[in-house]
Copies of this chain bind each other. A is one copy, B any other.
Amino acid sequence: MRNKQISKAVIKRLPRYRRYLRELQKKGVEKISSKDLSKLIGYTASQIRQDLNNFGGFGQQGYGYSVNNLYEEIGTILGLDKEYKMAIVGYGRLGRAIANYIANNEPKFHIIGIFDVKKIIQDIDDVEFDDAQIMTCKSLAGFIRSEQVDIAVITVPAEKAQLVADTVADAGVKGIWNLTAVDLEIPAGIAVENVHMSDSLHALAYYMQDAE
């Protein structure tokens, strides 16, 4: 259990900092001031300093931030220095897209099981999924228990989402990544993050009127 005083808004910004730092790393940039980081990311320099001070700050007066250090530190804060075992539940179009994305972009997240209502023909194409097995949802709870799966990725239809969430929560996952269109009731002690596609699309519709 860590310091609980860090606001959700700050946490939400950390992955974004890390993404920009990764881009700087790729370009060979070694250090950056909060002012230059501000120009890049679009937050104020003061906001950036304040955000990073939550974690002790990593900058040095008159030097700025070491890109490598800050990238690594933020990764550690987020828990990306650890490895996670994942199960994907729901292997329709979105499930496949997500599985593909994780396999190609998220080396710390290992898809070890894929579940769907019916046993799907193994058509994983050119994608490496470690040793992921594809199974029916009947074996979901047992698999999570025996393999000690950390994260369940839920991409089933909305009406099945809560049932799946109950099953994986009961079987002992520590986190649920919810990509369905509904919010889930999750017991305390299990982390949950939602990607609600339609909420984002509807916010876009609003901003479009505002931009007119």
Name the prevailing secondary structure of the A interface residues. helix
Task: Give the residue of B78, B96, B97 whose beta carbon is less than 8 angstroms from that of A202.
Answer: B78
The interface stretch among A7-15, A59-67, A129-137, A141-149 is A7-15
Check A204/B181 contact, CB under 8 A, given A197-B195, A198-B106, A199-B12.
no
CB distance from A211 to the nearest CB of B (A): 5
Contact B80 A205, beta carbon cutoff 8 Å = yes
Which chain B residues border A15 with CB–CB below 8 Å?
196, 198-200, 202-203
CA A206 – CA B80 in complex, angstroms? 8
Contact A201 B174, beta carbon cutoff 8 Å = no
Number of interface residues, chain A, beta carbon within 8 A: 64
Question: What 0/1 pattern do residues 185 to 210 of A give for CB contact below 8 A with B?
Answer: 00001111111111111111111111
Measuring CB to CB, which residues of chain A are less than 8 angstroms from any residue of chain B?
A: 1-2, 4, 11-12, 14-16, 18-20, 23, 42, 77-80, 82, 84, 92-94, 96-98, 100-102, 105-106, 108-109, 150-151, 174-175, 177, 181-183, 189-212
